[in-house]
Amino acid sequence: GKVLVTGANGYVAVWVVRRLLEKGYSVRATVRAESKGTHLRKIFAEYGDKLEIVVVADITKPGAFDEAVKGVDAVEHTASPFHFNAKDPAEIVTPAVNGTLRALEAVLAHGTSVKRVVVTSSCAAVLSVLPEPHVFNESDWNDQSVDLINQQGADADQVVKYLASKTLAERAAWEFLEKNKGKINWDLVVINPPYVYGPAIHEVESPEALNESLNAWYRSVFKNLHEPAQASSIGYGFLADWIDVRDVADAHYLALQKEQAANQRIIISAGNWKWQDWINTARKFGVETSKGDDSYDPTVAVHMIQYDVSRAKAVLGINKYYSIEETTKDTIDDFKARGWIN
């Protein structure tokens, strides 16, 4: 089969593309500019014309994906802004929501061979900041972030703007499905990962140019991003859980494979952490880390946000995730090979 992957040059998406190619799929990859396809062509050269690259310059434009969906069996929509720089919330909400809608509209109008659409949402669309520790599941929605941007606009917390963009984009996808029920002969699967870490295979020249999540990991573990006391307390809110990027890629592959995933949102997560867990683990591999907090005791750490991953197990069959040790080791090896740490 052939799968359309949007935003294919991103941190998560390149691993998704790799997994799909390894599993025998052909991939049509969308990027915003021709130059962003060069690295993909290079690292996946062995797959020849099983990888096709198309430019979709503006994913929010009506008809943006009309050509791209023709002849594919499935779509994996990953393209969405992930940064904490929006002034007006619309700067991040609009591409997230409209990009998702344009992808679904194109499938409805022109994706006659499409059987399934997978949307990369996030635990951002699930969690809320609550006064007590809480275990969230797929029935939870982050309406809190949407209320906050509506009330506070540009003054809302930068993280909250991103959380709201993911919440509104995922809601738009399910509403689209509901509204067009009678006309749709494909189904939707939504994947909700927490913070994603692990080695990078996308094009990235320097640590500063890393995507948001891995950049935070790099600076926190190696560059003293946090005060020592924060290293053992942060892991709060959106940053409460994590998953390895390779597990995220597997979930995107399994989401295409499993019939019973139809029309479900599915949380995937390896578990809780504080920055100090990563710092302590990195030290085991003999690298120089951030100063951190030596008084940290993981046995008494409070994790405000936890996720129930039983649906991922039941529906996708995911019962094992990369561990903090495995992900730390592989990421250190990656960063060393790039000369970013020693």
88-107: contacts with ligand NDP (CB under 6 A):
95, 99
Q: Which residues contact 64 (CB under 8 A, 6 or more apart)?
A: 56, 58, 99, 102, 103, 106
195 binds ligand NDP (CB under 6 A): yes
Least distance CB 325 / ligand NDP (angstroms): 19
Q: How far apart are CA 63 and CA 56, in angstroms?
A: 10
11 binds ligand NDP (CB under 6 A): yes
Candidate segments 8-16, 182-190, 271-279, 311-319, binder of ligand NDP by CB under 6 A: 8-16
Burial class, 265, CB count within 10 angstroms (exposed 0-12 / middle 13-18 / buried 19+): buried
Q: How far apart are CA 61 and CA 335, in angstroms?
A: 37
Binding residue for ligand NDP, selected from 3, 4, 7, 246, defined by CB under 6 A: 7
- Side chain identity at residue 160, one-letter code: V
Question: If residue 90 lies in a helix (H) or strand (E), which one and from where to where?
Answer: helix 90-110
Given a contact cutoff of 8 angstroms between Cβ atoms, the answer to whether 3 and 20 are in contact is yes
Binding residue for ligand NDP, selected from 64, 68, 196, 221, defined by CB under 6 A: 196
Least distance CB 22 / ligand NDP (angstroms): 18
Size of the site for ligand NDP (CB under 6 A): 24
Half-sphere exposure (CA, 13 Å, Cβ side) for 260?
7
> Between 196 and 201, whose beta carbon lies closer to ligand NDP?
196
Site string for ligand NDP, 121-140 (x = CB under 6 A): -x------------------
> Between 16 and 282, whose beta carbon lies closer to ligand NDP?
16
> Between 10 and 111, whose beta carbon lies closer to ligand NDP?
10
65 binds ligand NDP (CB under 6 A): no
Q: How far apart are CA 126 and CA 109, in angstroms?
A: 30
Least distance CB 245 / ligand NDP (angstroms): 8
Phi, psi of 138 (to 5 degrees): -70, -10
111 binds ligand NDP (CB under 6 A): no
Strand 241-244: give its sheet, edge to edge: 195-197, 241-244, 271-272
CA 112 to each of CA 51, 71, 72, 253, 335: distance values in angstroms, whole numbers, following the listed order = 21, 7, 8, 21, 43
Tell me the sheet residues that pair with 2.
Answer: 26
26 binds ligand NDP (CB under 6 A): no
Candidate segments 6-14, 100-108, 226-234, 273-281, binder of ligand NDP by CB under 6 A: 6-14
Binding residue for ligand NDP, selected from 28, 102, 166, 252, defined by CB under 6 A: 166
Least distance CB 178 / ligand NDP (angstroms): 21
Least distance CB 33 / ligand NDP (angstroms): 7
3-state secondary structure of 216: helix
Residues near ligand NDP (CB under 6 A): 7, 9-13, 32, 36, 59, 78-82, 95, 99, 120, 122, 166, 193, 195-196, 211, 213
